[in-house]
Amino acid sequence: MKLPARAAALTAGVLFASLAGATGASAAAAEALPNVNMEATVKAAQIDPRRPDSTLTPGAKASVLLVEQALSDRSLLDAKWVDGYFGTTTVTAYAKYQKSLGLTGLDANGLPGKASLTKLGAGRFKVTAVIDPGPRVNSGDFVINTRTRNMLTEAKRLLGRDLKLDQGSYNPGGDPTSVGTHDGGGVVDISVKGMSPATRTAAVRALRQSGFAAWLRNPSQDDWPWHIHAVAISDTALSGQAQRQVGDYYLGQNGLAGRGPDDGPKVPIRTWEEYQRR
Q: In the chain, what are the domain boundaries?
A: 35-128, 136-277
Residue 238 pLDDT exceeds 50:
yes
For residues 50-54, give the mean pLDDT.
96
pLDDT of amino acid 29? 55
pLDDT of amino acid 222? 77
pLDDT of amino acid 30? 56
- Residue 177 has φ and ψ, to the nearest 5°, of -70, -10
For residues 232-260, give the mean pLDDT.
97
Q: Which residues contact 192 (CB under 8 A, 6 or more apart)?
A: 199, 200, 203, 216, 226, 227, 228
How much of the chain, in percent, has pLDDT values that exceed 90? 83
Residue 1 pLDDT exceeds 70:
no
Query: How confident is the model over 10-47, as pLDDT tens digits?
Result: 444 444 444 445 445 445 555 799 999 999 999 999 99
pLDDT of amino acid 17? 45
Give the residue, 192 or 3, on which the prediction is more confident.
192
Query: How confident is the model over 115-163, as pLDDT tens digits?
Result: 999 999 999 999 999 999 999 999 999 999 999 999 999 999 999 999 9
pLDDT of amino acid 189? 97
pLDDT of amino acid 2? 45
| pTM for the structure as a whole | 0.88
pLDDT of amino acid 12? 43
pLDDT of amino acid 20? 45
Query: How confident is the model over 157-213, as pLDDT tens digits?
Result: 999 999 999 999 999 876 656 678 999 999 999 999 999 999 999 999 999 999 999
Residue 232 pLDDT exceeds 70:
yes
